[in-house]
Structure 1
């Protein structure tokens, strides 16, 4: 019975809270609003500024036959076909000179050239665990083998070139 009383009291409090009336606002005792100093709005100021900016901009429009400052700035930062043609010509000349130099140095003398095998240890590359000191193979024979094959290949190329 005590729990039922508590629930009824809680419901009564809720009803009182929702049934409030504000009768004091219903009377005509309102004070008039204070005078406000109204100014031009932001939109009006922006409109006038855009209009005046347009007038100033029209003063600087170039005469017929002249180039405007804005267009000259755009042309300054855009690439022209003649610039690209000059750059490509210089690049082609540099590539031709580099290929000539490389051909000159590559074909100067093939007898005494050292053939660099990238890293001969790759033939026996494996995990370095459980290897006792001094048990790695000497790879000088592989380097010499590939050098001899290179020399034979160069001699074969020279003979084929001489026959043509």
Structure 2
């Protein structure tokens, strides 16, 4: 069906007479080579209106300034920005107080003694027993256990500090690539 439709459309196009279109020309044929008299052109209404607004605005300004106890417009405009001094003084005071508070907080945190916490791999190992078998009013003193883990933590930190000073800390050593073909054991 599709090939028949294509051939029908093609034959209809060929059968249609093609009329050549005349291009539209915007040029005119009448050539007048005569010289015209110079024309006097006036400035127009817009020019005179814009020139008349300057003295009219000045007259309106003078008429509105009949009351002499009021400051001139430019002085009032400048005075409207003078209250920004107080605004900026308030902002600067607030900023200074915020900086002082931040300095106080930093000094407090840097001069306070840190709370050393010994990480346990399995924190629940302290509470392995059943809570139902503990008689009321009894508690276990864990001070010796805490002291043991703190001692281990301090020893580990001292060892790392010594390795860091000697330059033998494993994390700081350069990475050695393994051999391509490791020997068989």
**Which TM-score tier does this pair reach, normalised by the shorter chain?**
0.3 to 0.5
Q: TM-score, normalised on structure 2?
A: 0.35
More helix by share: 1
Q: TM-score, normalised on structure 1?
A: 0.38
Q: Relative contact order, CA 8 A, sep 6+: which one is greater?
A: 1
